[in-house]
Structure 1
Amino acid sequence: MPHAGSVWTVDVFEGDRGGGVLAEAELDGEEQDVALLDWVGREVTGDPRFSQAALRAMDWKTA
């Protein structure tokens, strides 16, 4: 999804993971400024709780 010169990937989870939304912007480098979408919450880059492996293993019914 294009937004303010960046391309965002938005994952909307369904089923047991319903209600989860994860958005990420593809950047050219760590120093690149990015305009956030209005509904984007906190930054989770580098937080191991939001790695692909952790998201797959999470018990979303109690999260």
Structure 2
Amino acid sequence: MTLPLEEDSRPPYLQAAEVLRTEILVGDLAPGSRLPSARLLQARFGVSSSTVQNALRVL
């Protein structure tokens, strides 16, 4: 799943943070479980490592 960069005016790191936050809230990522690695998130969202790091900081 890449981010809708052209369709969303927010910075990519905010888009990625929202996707992860939603997955946590709906239970796709269980409480206490580890988040996917930064490398996996990079590939999943189609963004740079610094974008992933910024998204994780926002969370």
TM-score, normalising length from structure 1? Answer: 0.27
Higher strand fraction: Structure 1 or Structure 2?
Answer: 1
TM-score, normalising length from structure 2? Answer: 0.28
The structure with more radius of gyration? 1
